[in-house]
Structure 1
């Protein structure tokens, strides 16, 4: 057994020990003892309701009233029963049901019937699940339910009697106490930060929470300082984390203002750092690059979040703490993953995509990573995290990271990254001629004794992207091992071989055209799949350059613009600044 596998085995046992310890503590703090404890500390009243920034769909209200619940791709018809009595439904469906995010759809309907329906469903949850439910009391579900109940409390409580009001507030307080007692045992990363946000939001939204409010604010500051990096990224290196955190952090910040409370410095600094980095990850059509767990972009939510960005300046070009680089020239944008694997404790959604890049021209995305599948399917999740699903180089179709997947530990711990690139040196050059990034990673050094280096240069006018991939031996290598450099194409492109198969023509829907040339190598055009489409998986193409490894091998390639767009069009995911929605004051109760 080599040193790498010994280190991985040691890491697995440490993760297992931590998991068992946290499960034990959670059982002590939030298990049967918690459920048997009497609870009489009911706040006198709610003071305000933080805003819900997520988009509502009023058309869902009629389905919910009719007992048809479509969540996470699963449709369940209750046949006149309460949905909280059902047990056979899919777990993801149950999580979405118990999270109560669909309250925003009932509220959007803005009718007496939808309000009565919402109140009846809340009463059902309190009756059937208010003391315990195996899924309804998962920490992440409790967090989302607290935030939903608080945000939509004016809608739920309007026209309700005093008994319902008291029962609602008592249940809410009980859930907050559960979250407060178990926050240290929640999954590290975004889930724990969301829990801290929910507790803080509740404490400043409910009367008589002075002591708890001070504690919750200190805990929120601790999590923000620990999880938000100096350049604004999240420790998980997932761009989606920025959207999810800001969507909850901004309303909490606004609630502080409405209550006349002093703003915690960490809250101000975190928002100021995250906003520019959110713009950093955006292509010309408004979509965010698919790195480390980022799927399809919720454009309406991103638009609302960016409306609260006071600076609205040009995005930064360098995110060294998060491990990303951005090249910009003319209308072209190149985003590159130049960071090592995140800490195993927050790597459950991270990908083996070191040195992968995405490339867009104007509103046309050209080269992409496959992204994350919206389907809750372990197989697609495994595929999306592999190096082969990214626009970078692989050796023997092996990922540059090793994920935990073996039973039983994979079932207990998920699939964190056990090993991957550690040394990822980056050099950057910017001048009038363009911008250049030279980066390498050692993810293949242990198994194949090869270091992969990528040299990317984007011309100043954005019409030429040159790249060189170099494989350098750091020991004895097997010349039979083969490399494959992949460029996954966005499904909006039409690709075809030209010049006798030595080059590839890429034509966009608006008539813009680019040529790909591999400088002596023969590129292949193969099938691929785009996983991050809003409407599901889409077939697409990928360009592949393949060959056998040598002691020192360099492969050069180029994307060159050959025709400008013939049509002026707006991308479906783009939006005007005037279309962005302003953040509103919290609603008083």
Structure 2
């Protein structure tokens, strides 16, 4: 509403006023950044460059808001989370570089839209305070005073933007920054009161009833768990009571994070996620989770996890995340990943924050799904938000303890093509027998392809009409019936680099008229030409493809 925007604008203008003499000379409380940095990145930063999404950029030499960095890289740069990378390097040169860059930013703060990005501001404040001992503790008084004045001003800026618009786990970064300022400048009691006031509402809209975060992304799950854990650490190291809502939120979020890991300990690759080193996740769970629990189900988050023997199958059985939480959502409804022991076999291709890969990896063909006529089951606008998604997604799970059955479907292809896709999966044989039935029903014949993306660690061999997969001393065979099978080149972008791999593609080769349509055709033969023409328009076409992945003796 106009009056609300006016009030918020007035608050922001007040918050950005220069502060002289109202800030203390040093933080009353600091805490040490609990997360490990990357010493290699630290070495790059010392040399004046940084790596983001496999691309090197230069640090600013003048104003921090006038570089040529893409928006995600600019947000990362202004967040100062890279201070931990300099700390990981640990040299005197790294310390002086950290101090010089903070001082430089204080001299050239941004004046563009980054001023209004509360999550970036919050990340920056927390990073400054968490690395204060390393970067600023021995700085001269002039820098210290300028730092404290900016700390107070930036805290007021975050407070002016509360309550925040929906932005997923990043909203927690803004509140974390506010908490950092509240602990560093405790005489400004308004910071803590606003933190405690707005935290419950932010958590309520972010965390679903089953503990899944609203973005429906394993990486967002990890990031939310890390932000909540860091807030808890801040209270504990300040010898303050941890708000109960933080502890209960972690008790919900951490079991889901555990459930979204494969046997190698890294994350499943859905909706903007990538493989993360298992040690990084272990670190968050060790500090944030009070019990080693695994989420029994994710019925609100709409993921299904099937574990049998040493096999694990994780499926995305929901539409992309709701509006406000969908900026990194993918068109991967009913995609799945399958692993055995510590080895991934079928995967999704990964994600990218910038460049052409961002759009390509969000599309359906980059997922282990059915792709109809080369289209995606969801569409995105220029801002990256979802503008079309499946209206109806169904998933039913049954098990008798020795096997699992999944019956799923979605209508994401109905608006553009008039199609419905049904995917039925069976997992049995102690996890060594995975079968699928793919049914396409539509108003007209439409070509489609089933894509099974193979992890780059797997060796792939064509054996007549079968595909042989070798990994970890195991041999698996893939076969299908009802389609045309091919092997195609593929890429995997979930481990911080572009890796070449392969994918199995099963293409449609024929369509058949359903039994109901056969009856309709018989009745048409006794009708007039006009009636026959009208009934033909109502015919439904369908095709079924079945496939099997089984482990075989070497």
* Smaller-chain TM-score bracket: 0.7 to 0.9
Between the two proteins, the alignment pairs up a number of residues equal to: 524
Indicate the larger mover: 531-540 or 322-331.
531-540
8 Å CA contact 2:333–2:377 kept in 1: the answer is yes
CA drift at 1:59: 4.4
Counterpart in the other structure of 2:526: none
CA drift at 1:165: 2.2
Instruction: Provide the C-alpha distance between the structure 1 equivalents of 2:69 and 2:256, rounded to a whole number of angstroms.
Output: 36
Counterpart in the other structure of 1:52: 33
CA drift at 1:104: 1.3
Indicate the larger mover: 445-454 or 66-75.
66-75
Counterpart in the other structure of 1:228: 207
8 Å CA contact 1:471–1:554 kept in 2: the answer is yes
Instruction: Provide the C-alpha distance between the structure 2 equivalents of 1:549 and 1:146, rounded to a whole number of angstroms.
Output: 60
- Runs in 1 of length 4+ with deviation above 6 angstroms? 20-26
CA drift at 1:265: 2.8
1:418 aligns with 2:418: no
Instruction: Provide the C-alpha distance between the structure 2 equivalents of 1:207 and 1:361, rounded to a whole number of angstroms.
Output: 51
From 427, 434, 456, give the equivalent of 2:425.
456
Counterpart in the other structure of 1:583: none
Counterpart in the other structure of 1:587: none
Structure 1 SS opposite 2:195? helix
Distance 1:531 1:114, change over 3 A: closer
Distance 1:546 1:552, change over 3 A: closer
Per-residue Cα deviation, 1:289-309 (whole angstroms, up to 9, x for no partner): 111111232434212112233
Q: How does 1:73-84 map to 2 (within 5 A)?
A: 73-76=54-57, 82=61, 84=63
Counterpart in the other structure of 1:13: none
Indicate the larger mover: 136-145 or 279-288.
136-145
CA drift at 1:256: 1.8
8 Å CA contact 1:495–1:541 kept in 2: the answer is no
1:483 aligns with 2:445: no
Counterpart in the other structure of 1:181: 160
From 314, 319, 342, give the equivalent of 2:321.
342
Structure 1 SS opposite 2:487? strand
Per-residue Cα deviation, 1:408-460 (whole angstroms, up to 9, x for no partner): xx3xxx12112211322221112132112112112123333332121111115
CA drift at 1:84: 4.5
Q: How does 1:71-220 map to 2 (within 5 A)?
A: 71-76=52-57, 82=61, 84=63, 87-91=66-70, 92-129=72-109, 132=111, 135=114, 138-184=117-163, 188-220=167-199
CA drift at 1:260: 3.9
Counterpart in the other structure of 1:556: 546
Instruction: Provide the C-alpha distance between the structure 2 equivalents of 1:521 and 1:66, rounded to a whole number of angstroms.
Output: 55
1:67 aligns with 2:48: yes
8 Å CA contact 2:395–2:406 kept in 1: the answer is yes
Distance 1:88 1:112, change over 3 A: closer
Counterpart in the other structure of 2:12: 30
Structure 1: unaligned runs, 5 residues or longer: 1-17, 405-409, 565-589
Instruction: Provide the C-alpha distance between the structure 2 equivalents of 1:438 and 1:106, rounded to a whole number of angstroms.
Output: 50
Instruction: Provide the C-alpha distance between the structure 1 equivalents of 2:491 and 2:375, rounded to a whole number of angstroms.
Output: 18
Aligned-residue Cα RMSD (Å) equals: 2.7
Instruction: Provide the C-alpha distance between the structure 1 equivalents of 2:343 and 2:403, rounded to a whole number of angstroms.
Output: 20
Distance 1:93 1:350, change over 3 A: closer
Instruction: Provide the C-alpha distance between the structure 1 equivalents of 2:121 and 2:477, rounded to a whole number of angstroms.
Output: 51
Structure 2: unaligned runs, 5 residues or longer: 513-540
Instruction: Provide the C-alpha distance between the structure 1 equivalents of 2:408 and 2:469, rounded to a whole number of angstroms.
Output: 27
Per-residue Cα deviation, 1:161-180 (whole angstroms, up to 9, x for no partner): 33332221111111111122
8 Å CA contact 1:527–1:539 kept in 2: the answer is yes
Structure 2 SS opposite 1:433? coil
Q: TM-score, normalised by structure 2?
A: 0.87
Distance 1:516 1:105, change over 3 A: same
Q: TM-score, normalised by structure 1?
A: 0.82
CA drift at 1:335: 0.4
Instruction: Provide the C-alpha distance between the structure 2 equivalents of 1:319 and 1:23, rounded to a whole number of angstroms.
Output: 38
Counterpart in the other structure of 2:357: 380
- Rg bigger for which structure? 2
